[in-house]
Amino acid sequence: MPDAPTRPARCEDCAGREAALCAHLSDAALRDFAGLGRLRALPAGATLSWEGDRVATVGTVRAGLLKLSASLPDGRELTLGLAGPGDLVGNPLGAPASHSVTALGDASLCLIPGDAFNAFVTREDDAARALLERLFGELDKARRWLLLIGRKTAGERVASLLLDLADRAGAGDGDRVALPLTRQQMAGLLGLTIETVSRRLHRFAADRVIGLPDLRHFALIDRAALARLAGD
């Protein structure tokens, strides 16, 4: 008799499975966890949830990149951050969302109702520990982002964002990396002007740190140099 599968079939094509909360679960717990959720495809530009909505689901990003954004009183949009494969979005408690969640490109998620997620974490110690580690990791990430916005120079901010995108893609020297943000979105995310972002990108390209084949991609030429430019 063949051995029972150790991982649910729906998890096999999940790009975030090694970084997600699920990675810390036993095979049996993973099958239970996967059974709680449903898959949701999100085409480019589609919004998963809006700022102010009462969100009572937790989503694990399986593929793609999502933009977290909020509106300013004058109607301008402020990009707060990005969520990629393995990251969590949503709120299991049903609290009003402080930001909107929108797909920058085609994306997919595994969505679990908040009450089912809470019950699972309550009974599964490994899941509770992993969630706590994830929450503290997100807190550290937020503090690093405050450092980036408050202390880093314009060039360091742009380099940090490119480095983050390259790391999310697992890219090395010579690889082509998707640039899902427009120049305007990059400027909003980094607290810079569009002109400053464009100048820095072209300076990095002139110095052969990156290549700019088109507006939606960059080529990682010298990761070590990019890390130095980011202040890392």
Q: What is the pLDDT of residue 166?
A: 94
Q: Does the 152-229 domain belong in CATH 1.20.1440.120?
A: no
Matching CATH topology for 9-140 and 152-229? no
- Per-residue confidence in pLDDT tens, the chain, 232 aa: 344 446 677 788 888 788 888 888 888 888 888 889 899 999 999 999 999 999 889 999 999 999 998 888 888 887 888 898 989 999 888 889 999 999 988 999 999 999 999 999 999 888 888 888 888 877 777 777 766 676 789 999 999 999 989 998 889 999 999 998 889 888 988 889 999 999 999 999 999 999 999 989 999 999 999 999 998 7
- The tokens describing 96, both together, are 């009003």
Q: What are the boundaries of each domain within the chain?
A: 9-140, 152-229
Other C-beta atoms within 10 Å of 167: how many? Answer: 13
Tell me, what's the pLDDT at 5? Answer: 46
Distance CA 171, CA 20 (A): 19
Torsional class of 174: left (φ above 0), alpha (ψ -120 to 50), beta (otherwise) = left
Specify the pLDDT at position 12. 81
The structural architecture, per CATH, of the domain 9-140 is Sandwich (2.60)
Instruction: Return the percentage of the chain with pLDDT > 70, whole number.
Output: 94
Beta bridge partners of 47: 102
The model carries a pTM of: 0.78
What is the DSSP code string of 24-72?
GS-HHHHHHHHHH-EEEEE-TT-EEE-TT-B--EEEEEEES-EEEEEE-
pLDDT computed for residue 162 by the predictor: 96
Report the distance separating Cα 53 and Cα 35, nearest Å: 26
